[in-house]
Structure 1
Amino acid sequence: MIKENQYVKIKWMGNNRKYYENCNYIFTRFGDEFTVSVSDLPKHSRVKIKVICDNCLNPYDLSYAQSVRAENHICSKDCKYLFGKEKFDCYICGTETFKNNTQIKKSTFGHHFCSIECVGKFNSMRYDETKITKLCLICDKEFRSKLSTIETQITCSRKCQGIWQSTFRIGENSSNYRGGKIEKCCQVCRDIYYVTRHSSLLSKFCSQKCKQIHWSENVITKESFKVAKYQGNLKVRQTSRETLPEKLVREWLSENNISFKQECGFFRKYYADFYLHNTNIVIEVFGDYWHCNPKVYGNGLLPPSNSQLEQTERDRLRIEKFKKHNFNVIVLWENEIYSNLEKLMQNRIMTIYPRNDYTQSI
């Protein structure tokens, strides 16, 4: 609300002379001040006037143009929040709270609250009044049940519910009973065993032991299984990351224009780290630890582990298989590669490699 009987000081300027002369004000000189009634100000005037706050009724300064456009005059954010609201005491904690007309109409029970926590407390009180006391079938403890679950709720807690279900809801009384387990005959030992209905179509053996016996006699010995296993292992080896010694050997062979194939498969069983094309030369790059370097492990040095001994036996069988088919197997150890790769390759490879254009560079 604009305060009545207000007057403000205005200076004569070129853009307001004609307007105020039409309002019966006498022009004196540009720059001179003269007193103007607020009611005579133009609607776009930015002159500050006194306005009464519609909420707290305190006067505050506002431009005349804003006071004309505004439907309500509010002096601060606090008054803006309180404007048009009614004061109530919280039904739960008694704290003062303010509600607008929409919030008042939405109140179902005619009560008003200061926070969501107080609303929750009220709802819990209201719901608790409608609950009925029952006796737990497991622990004989009293508990409160809602009207909607009074016929079905028979225990006081999840723990008691689990005990009751494990006692009374098993077998045919189970809610997901599908006819029980299926009787089947093991394909190896011919014993009778029972499996659930959803796994009955795939189950063939009564135990893992019988399954392993069947595989060792009927699956692993098949040529198709050997081929599939070989192709799967070959794909894994070709896509896996090479070791640092293998990388050094590969780079040396490429720099010296030696044609080779890495991770080359033989006999549908074994793999060679490098095979030199059009020769019988196979290069194996062995890590000192994984392949148990005899200069580091054994013979009074570090004792080899069981996994190292098993790998040594596998290496021996593989090398014998290559030699049986007239392959020249060259084993390069990790520490030898790191020490002097150029000298190692000259002494071990180039002395038997069928080429005359290799230049020594040590």
Structure 2
Amino acid sequence: MAIILNQVLEVPMSNRNKTFYFNNGCTLVDGNVFLVPIHILPAASRVFVELKCDICGVHFNKSYRIIAKQKNHTCGYKCRKLYFSQEKPSTRNRVSVSCSSCNSEFERIESKVKRNKNNFCSKTCADNFLKEFGQGRPKVKRFEIHCSNCNQLTYKTEKRLKNQELHFCSVKCSSEFKRPSRRKLLERECHTCKKLLLLPPHRIKNSVRSFCSQKCRAVWMRESDEYKKIAYRGKSVTLTCSNPECTATFKRRISTIKNENFCSSSCSGKIIFSRYPSNPSKEKIEVHCYNCSKIKKVPESVFKKNKYFFCSQRCYQAKRFDITDRIFTMTSIHKKTNILLNDLNIKFRNEKQIGLYSLDVYLPSYNVGIEVMGDYWHANPKKYKSNTELNSIQIKTISKDERKKDRVIKKEGIRILYLWEEDINKHEELCKSLILRFIDTEDMEMHSYDWCFDERKRVLSKNESSEVVYE
């Protein structure tokens, strides 16, 4: 029996165990650990206890719930194997037995000897015994019979003899044996060489002619006039158009001939429309273009659905901001930019249309545009330092911003100030100073992330000062 040393174990306190250990007089240390003697531990405790191996005497640790119901303990598989191989009258009694195959004596546990009729000293002895006496005493009477394939003697029960006509000694003989066909076959001559064939009835019933080989079939297809009348070998036939107003002739393959054949789609369309007339088309409604007042006709469904109508894409682009409510579609940083301009008493106009593009804010007195840039959608370089961090939408937005800048600056000559989301939300005074500075300078473009306040609250570029602190 393993020696469980007299030890005091540290058990963490919890709401489940504190009442049990307090009632048994265990002391609480540091407010969260109980000092518990090993005999007080419950059988389900998961605390690791120190044990001594019964074979080698090595000390090892194991969970108490595993070893609580065990009498003997070993440190590993080797010691466990040694423990059960030794003679221990307290655990298992061993008895000397003679092998049922080779008659040599060996030791075995008494309980196993009583349970088994035959005992073997090794696996080879057990295999040899099974080969010789494997079938044992037959429970059902068996009769001798010869294999239908190799004529070897085999044993079968009376039930097998009645139910089966053929009997085999093994699966191999069963697979090698050629069984006679049970289907009824009828005689028929080959259509080409007149050779007799044995065919099942359904083959004769379903086919007009039969052939003994592919060669005979090929000879019939190549030489006989019968096949030519059936297939025509891909030849076409001259037909006249089924439209009574058209007398045109045309050629068509036999496989594509229908009840009615037309020379063209226009002829077939006339016949179909005469038989199945379509619904009369509804009259279109005249409307005026919202931009240039040009008259245009639209279907009734379009007239009911829309409020404004345009004759072209150019007219729509010219008026698209007039027909939409920009107050509700304006972003929060765009609204804050308008407040900053109102504080500076600068006149401005929202969404100035320039071709297919529009400036967020336009200052007509200075010919300056202000673009309000979101950090995520326009990819602020301070937050996204490499192109690998960008997704497909951000890449498309950046390319669109470049095309817009080329159109506005180079062709229209309007200078652009870019105010970014982080600066608009956190540094309003910096944005105001940048607006005033950009109006006075002749720079074509400027970004707010390139500028900041120094310690004296002067607006400086980051390139001019190495140590920069936001206000």
TM-score, with structure 2 as normaliser: 0.31
Higher-RCO chain (CA-CA 8 Å, sequence separation at least 6) = 1
